[in-house]
Structure 1
């Protein structure tokens, strides 16, 4: 994703892959490596970490329970609906893949998903939390039933364009520039499949509820800008997800698995340095904002040894470093993703990064300002929810990958220098998370998880050994691997949701665990007070189609300009001529 986070937020392999039993000595070593003291592990010191890592004790090796997922006429109806609409579902995935629209600008992609749900009987309202491309689709049957939510995303990543089904790097869109050639956007995280499968699951549950007269409210949340972790965190703070009883989420992966591990909390911050432009041939007195950004990047790397625990992540990119070498850059921007195991630990690391920025500005004689663009919590897991989901995955089985899909996967692995193992063809074992959190990706679903019981799964869409946020994932997302993954993920989600309706005791257990885990923890958005989310002005045709007006009431438009007012640097008094 262009949100630059290291598999995100949704890296289910870290959270769900089985791991060997750890000895007491190894646990102590890991605790030391992670910089976790007894105080840090206590709920009083960091309740967010304690709640997310807490799990029931087990006698002996953990064994995932079976028999939680039950066959029912309603479940057969839901799964049958997905099977009978397979071409329509995979067609939606391919449509969104071809559009490949970036975060906050998913004009046609959001409409495609909304239209799909309208045809399934959902009422659709655009402009959720003020975001033009976010929407909420609702289906109600009867009264008094639970409210079940599904998570939909559809944004692509910049620079990851790739031809569908091609096993070597071959961008679909190549952008020629004699100085800076690049590639167009692409679904290198598979969100075309993510939103499609979730929408299909929501529609299937709605169909089952209607046919079997099950009271329920099904909600699908079309979320913008997951790749920048903006859409859901802000929407949660505005109460968009209030009133739900359960929330189901999935993400493309290299494995078929679920679990109850956590994710990293994260704050995204952009630093803007302001200097004075001037001719590169006469640089004396100029103030280079790019020098400041480079100094900041260099100094921040020195934080890694003494200030960055294994549970943390720190990565950056220079968004704006100037245009041409013979003009000293007057404005430069560098963006960081600061991750840690909890919001409190993120803040400690973020303060150090801000101090580095201030030092770089002082040394370069520039001015610096920073703005928080996104901030999310670590995810609150649910063991009981994961166990129910895993049992459904086990009963349904792995995605049905064709020979074509496996051949593509092996071609990609060969191209990337990886063992040619193809695609994952099993349901991963369910196992407890490692006792010490060692970091990973981030997700804006995390903030939802502290407000409603949430479960997540990964379904294999990319070859074993590869990663999300790559052109190789884009090659698979709408090709044979993606088609199989979409149908499998939709089935896992729909089957689990139906179990919550036909087995009220399962939903009760999920909600009781949620209440226990959140006891003593008060969720509060990690976004700063007065935060205004970033937005792009929609085209007129989109506003007309969706019945929206611009601008929404929650932002200032047009946004304030960032203009340097700095002065040339003094070199001191003029030197007297030598005699």
Structure 2
């Protein structure tokens, strides 16, 4: 392990001097708790901060209102990108306290941070600003790019940014994510990167429910087929329309689709390798006590698979199920794309450089204050407080090659990618490293879901991860800026890997901004959740 140079020491000193600022920023984004495509306050916070730090910022990058692209240059040289994610998840509104409670004035069903993206974004921002400070102090030339990436939980922005050229022309993309699960904790991905992911919404509409009950006539045609005619003259008069036969409607179509796809799930993909398909009801008809059929319902699917071919196979099966559900309920259907992301590619050159920076930074270390909070949570959650309450993996480094061997242990040799995250889009446009830093998590258990969420918001618990990420990212970026040979070697490896199996951007859709994504609203009652 090499010793840090003067620039890396300067970046580390900057982080040490700004620990309180980074802590406050992390808590701010955590408290916003905004969800996919609706991260208005979070994006605005980043834009204002970056402009105050001297960055040129394009708001609404890629046609996405809560995305941005920021640049700062100190002359010709390397070009390195980092990024923030800042979306949370509906139904996870946990306060930054050591017991279960929603954030003040909000219901549990409101949004909240689980991974937590609040710490992810500020860890990357800290690395960015520390790099900038060191470049200025030591006269290091080069350009920094910082992307604001909304809607990661639905794999939203990165395929769009990729297709529209925002990752082109870079020497390196540095991707960081909090983690606590063996073996990818405090390490860098080596060979087995995340796989493909498709997300879409199936929309069922019932524009003419009255036609369901019309008596139809048939007549033979020249080819022997029998075609439906118009309505029978005995169609009911208007006064009795509510009591007449009419289409089941969009709500029934959604239920049919939901259950049919559950029933056929095991037949959609081979019984080997790792994959998952999950669904969520985005909207489920109108809230009414009247006897009218639902006119529109939306059902969202997320497909996480090793390859694009697997994703296409599942999509075809879901399309067939949607057609059947619509036909059975008097509806029409359409598929609305949310995301199509490609599987990832390794870059050993950049991964090794990032790992060496993580070795310099060391794994996160939690204070006595944080440990006491962890013990308090264990007690509240019904467990005996432990003298060492932290999960061992979050405070231990593991070499990328060792983590890779453990990851491959339970995988078939033919499976090249595992799980999904849309950082993989960057891998096809620039050399990319995927860094994982341990986030606060408790040993023992099991624990209810609020525990991890709370630990991700309590400053004493989440700040060590943020600071470690910032130190690692800044050290990696500064080395790249000063080492032309390292940049060139990473680029040669990138060209070799992309040329062996080129996958062009899959994004052929606009951002799905107008879907009924859950969001915060201002009402006469104050800030509420819809």
Aligning the two structures, in what range does the TM-score lie when normalised by the shorter sequence? 0.7 to 0.9
Of 269, 280, 284, 2:200 maps to 269
Which residues of structure 2 form unaligned runs of 5+?
Answer: 211-239, 516-530
Of 14, 22, 32, 1:81 maps to 14
Residue 372 of structure 1 deviates from its aligned partner by 1.1
Residue 134 of structure 1 deviates from its aligned partner by 1.7
**Relative to 1, partners in 2 of residues 1:451 and 1:301: Cα closer, same or farther, differing over 3 Å?**
same
Contact (CA 8 Å) 1:311, 1:438: kept in 2 or not?
Answer: no
Contact (CA 8 Å) 2:89, 2:112: kept in 1 or not?
Answer: yes
Contact (CA 8 Å) 2:247, 2:329: kept in 1 or not?
Answer: no
Q: Which residue of 1 aligns with 2:216?
A: none
Q: Which residue of 1 aligns with 2:320?
A: 355
Q: Which residue of 2 aligns with 1:541?
A: none
Q: Which residue of 1 aligns with 2:94?
A: 162
2: CA distance between counterparts of 1:396 and 1:340? Answer: 33
3-state DSSP class of the match of 1:112?
A: helix
Aligned ranges 1:386-465 → 2 under 5 Å: 386-412=351-377, 421-423=389-391, 424-430=394-400, 431=402, 432=404, 433-434=407-408, 435-437=413-415, 440-464=418-442
Of 414, 430, 450, 1:471 maps to 450
2: CA distance between counterparts of 1:101 and 1:387? Answer: 35
Residue 281 of structure 1 deviates from its aligned partner by 9.5
Tell me how large the CA RMSD over aligned residues is.
2.8
Residue 440 of structure 1 deviates from its aligned partner by 4.9
Listed one character per residue, the Cα deviations across residues 144-165 of structure 1 (whole Å, up to 9, x for unaligned) are x110000111122211111103
Q: Which residue of 1 aligns with 2:332?
A: 367
Residue 70 of structure 1 deviates from its aligned partner by 4.5
Of 495, 517, 527, 2:475 maps to 495
2:500 counterpart of 1:532:
no
Listed one character per residue, the Cα deviations across residues 292-322 of structure 1 (whole Å, up to 9, x for unaligned) are 2112111112333333343321111122223
Q: Which residue of 1 aligns with 2:171?
A: 245
Contact (CA 8 Å) 1:157, 1:188: kept in 2 or not?
Answer: yes
Listed one character per residue, the Cα deviations across residues 318-365 of structure 1 (whole Å, up to 9, x for unaligned) are 222232465432322211112211222211111111111111222223
2: CA distance between counterparts of 1:439 and 1:409? Answer: 34
2: CA distance between counterparts of 1:437 and 1:294? Answer: 33
2:473 counterpart of 1:505:
no
Contact (CA 8 Å) 1:104, 1:536: kept in 2 or not?
Answer: no
Range 121-130 or range 464-473, more displaced: 464-473
3-state DSSP class of the match of 1:302?
A: helix
Aligned pair count? 461
1 or 2, which has the higher strand percentage? 2
Aligned ranges 1:141-156 → 2 under 5 Å: 141-143=74-76, 145-156=77-88
2: CA distance between counterparts of 1:441 and 1:469? Answer: 23
**Relative to 1, partners in 2 of residues 1:412 and 1:514: Cα closer, same or farther, differing over 3 Å?**
farther
2: CA distance between counterparts of 1:536 and 1:330? Answer: 17
Residue 532 of structure 1 deviates from its aligned partner by 1.7
Which residues of structure 1 form unaligned runs of 5+?
Answer: 1-66, 177-181, 538-579
Q: Which residue of 2 aligns with 1:481?
A: 461
1: CA distance between counterparts of 2:264 and 2:379? Answer: 37
Contact (CA 8 Å) 1:70, 1:499: kept in 2 or not?
Answer: no
Contact (CA 8 Å) 1:104, 1:535: kept in 2 or not?
Answer: yes
3-state DSSP class of the match of 1:428?
A: coil
Residue 115 of structure 1 deviates from its aligned partner by 2.9
2: CA distance between counterparts of 1:536 and 1:325? Answer: 27
